[in-house]
Amino acid sequence: MNRHLKVAFMVAPFLSILGYIGADYYNESKAAVNKIIQLVPEGHCDVINHSCVLKSGEFKVNISDKDGITEVNSTFPLDSATLFLVDDAEQITPYLLGMKESPYYWKNETALRSFTANKGDSYKLRLIAKIKGGQYIAEFYTQTVK
């Protein structure tokens, strides 16, 4: 073995480790880029009766309302969540949700129950859930079935 081959064998492990670390930093910077992903309802959406799931790929968000407290829980931890109630005149009322016990559970007191308390009531909602530079957005209707 000549001198150049010995040096190559000694340097190669360090270069592979540096390449691995560099690729990790590159992937992390790509993940932090702002992006917008749309969530779509999975079937009929009834927030009052705890039957509203929004999804995008493996990410799912469940929205429910119990005694005027609207709750959002997700399959991945959220950085923040905001729910918007939109009336017929397109007037928007935002509700910044607060973390309940972990970044998977968010809640706030909203007026949603007063608008959708009766069977057949329907109301437009918007949701923005933020995760590491990504914004998951949805615009959907909830309709009370029972």
Read off the pLDDT of residues 24-63 as tens digits, 9 standing for 90 and up: 988 888 766 788 899 999 989 999 988 899 999 999 999 9
Average pLDDT, the chain: 90
The secondary structure of residue 42, as a DSSP letter, is: S
Q: How far apart are CA 114 and CA 91, in angstroms?
A: 16
Cβ atoms 110, 65 nearer than 8 A: yes
pLDDT at position 33 is: 72
What are the structural domain ranges in the chain? 1-31, 35-143
Partnered with residue 63 across adjacent β-strands are 72
pLDDT at position 140 is: 93
Q: How far apart are CA 45 and CA 86, in angstroms?
A: 16
CATH number assigned to the domain with residue range 35-143, chosen from the 4 options 1.10.1760, 3.10.620, 2.30.30, 2.60.40: 2.60.40
Task: Report the predicted TM-score, pTM, of the whole model to 2 decimal places.
Answer: 0.75
